[in-house]
Amino acid sequence: MIRVQTEDFDVGRELAALTDGRTDIGGLASFVGLVRDFVEPGGGTGDGNASIRAMTLEHYPGMTEKMLAEIEAEASRRWPLQASLVIHRHGRLLPGDRIVLVACAAAHREDAIQACSFLIDWLKTKAPFWKLEDTREGERWVAAKESDDLLAERWLKK
């Protein structure tokens, strides 16, 4: 299931709904991404100590959901998942706000863990979202990171 929304989500409620009544699930893996209150060193703004006042996430409606569905379908081809969920927020978010929830349920924990890791790596590098950080020094668009690309590349060998 894919959802792109401005509203916050309740992690516990979402995970419970994903597994409710399911006795075929032996493992549930999840990842929650949050807005940080700092700019990473080398991020192009100041010395890495700049504080983030807010982050605005933009996306291309229709294209975003399609890409997320393709990524989710690829995870289901690679691992025997019983269920999966990707919720990604957009709009203006504050430090501490939840941005993304990725959850994978499978009969066995390793399948759930691997699929969840794959989904977040590919979502980070392939999903059409753009991040604008609002700091004391001004606004700046967040550039793609080589470290994220390297993590995603490990799945190309599979």
Supply the CATH number for residue 25's domain. 3.90.1170.40
What sign results for the dihedral spanned by CA atoms 13, 36, 4, 78?
negative
Specify burial of residue 125 (Cβ count, 10 A radius: 0-12, 13-18, 19+): middle
Report the phi/psi class of residue 96: left, alpha or beta, with left for phi > 0 and alpha for psi in -120 to 50.
left
| Structural domain that includes position 31 | 2-153
Q: Say whether pTM exceeds 0.75.
A: yes
CA 115 from centre of chain: 13
Among 4-13, 48-57, 124-133, the least confident range = 48-57
Q: How many domains, in total, are found in the chain? A: 1
Cα–Cα dist 106/79, whole Å? 8
Position 73 in a domain:
yes
> Mind listing the pLDDT tens digit for each residue in 73-131?
999 999 999 999 999 999 999 999 999 999 999 999 999 999 999 999 999 999 999 99
CB-CB contact of 62 with 133 (8 Å): no
Residue 158 lies in a domain: no
Q: What is the mean pLDDT of residues 23-30?
A: 98
- Residue 83 falls inside a structural domain: yes
Q: What is the structure's pLDDT at 47?
A: 52
**Does residue 16 belong to any structural domain of this protein?**
yes
SS3 142: coil
Residue 98 belongs to a domain: yes
Q: Tell whether 121 is covered by a domain.
A: yes
Chain centroid to CA 92: 16
Q: What is the mean pLDDT of residues 65-78?
A: 97
**Residue 110 resides in a domain:** yes
